[in-house]
Amino acid sequence: MNDPFGIPETVLVLGATSEIATDMAVTLADNGAQRFILAARSVDKLDELDRRITDKGAEVAARVTFDATDLDSHRSLIDGIWSDHGRVDLVLVAFGLLDTAVADGSVSPTDIAMVNYVGAVSLIEPVAEKMVGQGDGVIAVLSSVAAERPRGSNRLYASAKAGLDSYARGLGDALEPKGVRVLVIRPGFVHTRMTEGLQPAPLSVHPPAVSDALMKGLTGKRSVVWAPPPVRVLMSVLRHLPTGLYRRVTKGR
């Protein structure tokens, strides 16, 4: 159950090895969240996060293995979590892949759409059903400012995030009368493993700024929050620039 200040008791983190998710989980534990279910591709990478959560006085109730591309496993994964833990108050959807992963040769272009959009929808749908069943809950979705307007270099990621962002906002509209909130978080450039080696964009931040946006979202009423807040203004300018000017402004990025 969320406390009167919007702090969840039990949190499921999908993509718990993400640097942003790690900071969010520790911040939530610091603010009173009591129980965490950490889901990741490699649960053996979660020792450090487990220790940091435990140090804050919260409990890691389970570590669960999942892959966003393994669509057939998602419903039973979510069923299993609800059946083992009874209820979940907040689900953080934090996994993602940038176009640079394709350049590395480790994934294909369609994997970017699969992970960021198809995999996310495939997991969020059964989560939404469970939360409607329990009558409340929050689904916090890591979108991106890239959802607002793509660049040539991030077209796979940006288009998938645009789909995810649109899906999440529509889901929020559908679930609001049923007591379930969907919170869309749109970070700008965040210094993490995902952006390592890339030229930082204006208003770049570190993961705690995204955790601040999450906390503001949980304790407030907005359905979309930005990190840092001024990227909202920057993106409202950028998304309306004529194509030629936009290409010049974003050249080399």
Residues near ligand NAP (CB under 6 A): 15, 17-20, 40-42, 67-69, 94-97, 115, 142, 144, 187, 189-190, 192-195
With respect to ligand NAP, which residue has the nearer C-beta, 97 or 184?
Answer: 97
Looking up tokens 């998710």, which residue turns up?
21
Tell me, what amino acid is at 61? A
Q: How far is the CB of 133 from ligand NAP (least distance, A)?
A: 25
Total H helices, total E strands in the chain: 10, 7
Q: How far is the CB of 69 from ligand NAP (least distance, A)?
A: 5
Contact 182, 131 (CB under 8 A): no
Angle CA(208)–CA(183)–CA(36) in degrees, nearest 5? 60
Find the catalytic residue in 117, 157, 167, 246.
Answer: 157
With respect to ligand NAP, which residue has the nearer C-beta, 20 or 162?
Answer: 20
- In 3-state terms the chain splits into helix, strand, coil percentages (rounded to 5) of 50, 15, 30
Among this protein's residues, is 157 annotated catalytic? yes
Strands of the sheet containing 10-14, edge to edge, are: 59-65, 35-40, 10-14, 90-93, 137-142, 180-187, 224-227
Of all residues in the shown chain, the one whose CB is closest to ligand NAP is 96
Q: How far is the CB of 56 from ligand NAP (least distance, A)?
A: 19
Q: In angstroms, rounded to a whole number, what is the distance separating the alpha carbons of residues 123 and 141?
A: 11
Q: How far is the CB of 199 from ligand NAP (least distance, A)?
A: 12
Look at the chain and count its residues. Answer: 253
Among candidates 150, 151, 189, 143, which has minimal Cα distance to 170? Answer: 143
Q: How far is the CB of 243 from ligand NAP (least distance, A)?
A: 23
Tell me, what amino acid is at 196? E
Q: In angstroms, rounded to a whole number, what is the distance separating the alpha carbons of residues 122 and 164?
A: 11
Contacts of 136 (CB under 8 A, 6+ apart): 1, 2, 89, 179, 180
With respect to ligand NAP, which residue has the nearer C-beta, 31 or 144?
Answer: 144
With respect to ligand NAP, which residue has the nearer C-beta, 167 or 189?
Answer: 189
With respect to ligand NAP, which residue has the nearer C-beta, 72 or 242?
Answer: 72
Active site residue ranges: 157
